[in-house]
Amino acid sequence: MSTVSVVTGANSGIGRAIAIHLAGRGHEVYGTVRDPARAGKLQSMAADAGVDVQLVTMDVADDESVRLGLAIVIDKAGRVDVLVNNAGVGSNAVVEEASSSEILEVTNVNVCGAVRCLQAVLPGMRARRSGAIVNVTSVAGRFGAIAQAPYVASKWALEGLSEELALELAPFGIRVAIIEPGVTKSAIFAKNVDVPNSTGVYDAQYERMFDFYAAGIPKATDPFQVAAVVYEAITTESPRLRYPCSWGGPEVLEGRRAMSDEEWVDLGRITDTVEYRERFKSAFGVDITPPT
């Protein structure tokens, strides 16, 4: 009997890679997409890989859409063994310039979307006393990534919910895994280049955020490497709760763990761009100097 896996946000980037990778490992995969008409690349890549990813029209930001979409999967497949909550959106803003509406919109997708999906599949998993919930967060869910307040807030929230969820589901034999990518090849970066800059006083903070991605994108990790991490997380006999991965991810998290809160704040006090880049590299082992 094949493992039945649902991957949200399967139309591009990490989600598409996870769906194809799991299908290649013999899973019966259902990939959720908001618009099937735009899933041509997913379908062609799946065909090239010799696998099948079944499309489910679903918007994780909408209660009824999630209810109907996952009901279709359960009716067709009989169950969901693995749920990969991958669907997400990015958003740039320093905290002072982040609107409440933007924070709520991003949280609705990145946090509430995951909750909607897991609530739909957990009753069956609990009844079978087996299953896996994989929540794709971000390295930005573990440290205060500068000038990305709505995104950071949502990913920190999903990290906390995931940690709680793992404790709550342990008695039922359900595995919870948190995947924490750094910079990974994805369309999300091309869609996420605007900043509000409404006060005009945070130019340096926005520059530092863009430096990180400008340095990372040319070295960005192939999303299929993240997909392999997901497969490991749901199949290993020695499971962990967290799986940092991709360019900059493990290094930044290790560096932040080794840094005191006071040292973190001191990093923000640096006004010279070159000095900031040097201190960042010394602290985290990651060079954020943009390519020339």
Q: For residue 252, what is the domain's CATH number?
A: 3.40.50.720
Number of domains in the chain: 1
**CA dist., res. 153 & res. 136, Å (int):** 14
pLDDT tier, 193 (very low <50, low <70, confident <90, very high otherwise): confident
Answer yes or no: is 282 within a domain: no
| Mean pLDDT calculated for residue range 73-79 | 98
Answer yes or no: is 240 within a domain: yes
Answer yes or no: is 214 within a domain: no
pLDDT tier, 175 (very low <50, low <70, confident <90, very high otherwise): very high
Answer yes or no: is 283 within a domain: no
Answer yes or no: is 281 within a domain: no
**CA dist., res. 180 & res. 48, Å (int):** 28
pLDDT tier, 189 (very low <50, low <70, confident <90, very high otherwise): low
Sequence-distant contacts of 167-170: CB under 8 A, at least 24 apart: 169/122, 169/125, 169/126, 169/133
As annotated, the active-site residues are 151
Amino acid 190: pLDDT: 64
Answer yes or no: is 134 within a domain: yes
Answer yes or no: is 253 within a domain: yes
- The pTM of the full predicted model, rounded to 2 decimals, is 0.96
Contact residues for 82 (Cβ-Cβ < 8 A; gap 6+): 3, 4, 5, 6, 22, 27, 131, 132, 134, 234
Range of the domain at 137: 4-194+221-257
Answer yes or no: is 226 within a domain: yes
